């Protein structure tokens, strides 16, 4: 997976019912560059956790989607490089 873009994933959705009405119950700075949050879905009351990781500018990229917008500009998609996601995944799989 060389590139992951925002696309339809830009809206956070409940992993249980796919609703987008989410509230944050609790936020904590786990480390200097990571924020953990407990979230709750308004539709089904499901509670789960998320992590927000701070990344350097070099971790992001734009990818040409192969089409143009109505104003003539190239349609691109913003995302995170796959190699960075692999590093983050490796950190998350470590035991505490």
Of 11 and 77, the structure prediction assigns the larger pLDDT to 11
Q: What is the pLDDT of residues 18-71, one digit of tens each?
A: 998 999 999 998 777 788 899 999 999 999 999 887 777 777 777 777 777 777
Tell me which DSSP letter residue 78 carries.
E
pLDDT at 10: 62
> Above 50 in pLDDT, residue 4?
no
- φ/ψ of 50, rounded to 5, equals -130, 160
What is the DSSP code (8-state) at residue 38?
A: E
């Amino acid at each position: 997976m060389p590139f992951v873009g925002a696309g339809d994933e830009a809206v956070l959705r409940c992993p249980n019912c796919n609703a987008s009405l989410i509230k944050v119950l609790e936020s904590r700075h786990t480390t200097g560059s990571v924020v953990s949050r407990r979230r709750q879905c308004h539709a089904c009351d499901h509670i789960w956790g998320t992590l927000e990781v701070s990344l350097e500018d070099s971790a992001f990229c734009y990818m040409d989607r192969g089409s143009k917008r109505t104003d003539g500009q190239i349609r691109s998609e913003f995302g995170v490089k796959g190699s960075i996601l692999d590093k983050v995944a490796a950190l998350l799989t470590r035991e505490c």
